[in-house]
Amino acid sequence: MPMASSDKQTGKNRAFKQSLGHAWDGLRALFHYERNFRKHLAVGSLAIIAGLILRLTLNEWLWLVLAIFLVLIAETLNTIVEAVVDLVVGQTYHDLAKRAKDVAAGGVLMAAIFAVIVGALVMLPALGRWF
């Protein structure tokens, strides 16, 4: 059944272009509403600039890009958990809601720690080659 122009989509996407549009909307919402996503994106961009300056090898680039995207994906999943929990419990406190949000935030922390370790393992030797 075709949707009227004022109706909101509730069913499956009918075309790849439509799916891509929704995905792009999601990325824009992440950037617009999530301060931590913007911070992770900025730090990842700085790491890429440093990698360009240090002329990383292909293998080093693979690790660096993996670490950057892992943090961004973890932050995305954290945002999803927070939104769904807030949708379910609203403004009321619930121990399980807190646990879900804390665990999701812990996942972001683990990804960030991994990224720092990868950054050090990749950048320090590359910096040493510079001198």
Summarised one tens digit per residue, pLDDT across range 55-109 is: 999 999 999 999 999 999 999 999 999 999 999 999 999 999 999 999 999 999 9
pTM of the predicted model, to two decimals? 0.87
Question: Among the listed ranges 6-20, 24-38, 45-59, which one has the minimum average pLDDT value?
Answer: 6-20
Check residue 7 and give its pLDDT.
65
Give the C-alpha separation, 56 to 68, whole Å: 15
How far lies 71's CA from each of 53, 66, 74, 91, 107, in Å?
22, 9, 5, 28, 9
Which of the residues are catalytic? 75
CATH number, span 35-130: 1.10.287.3610
Check residue 6 and give its pLDDT.
58
DSSP string, 27-64: HHHHHHH-HHHHHHHHHHHHHHHHHHHHT--HHHHHHH
Question: Among the listed ranges 4-8, 61-65, 87-91, 125-129, which one has the minimum average pLDDT value?
Answer: 4-8
On the question of pLDDT at 2 being above 60, the answer is no
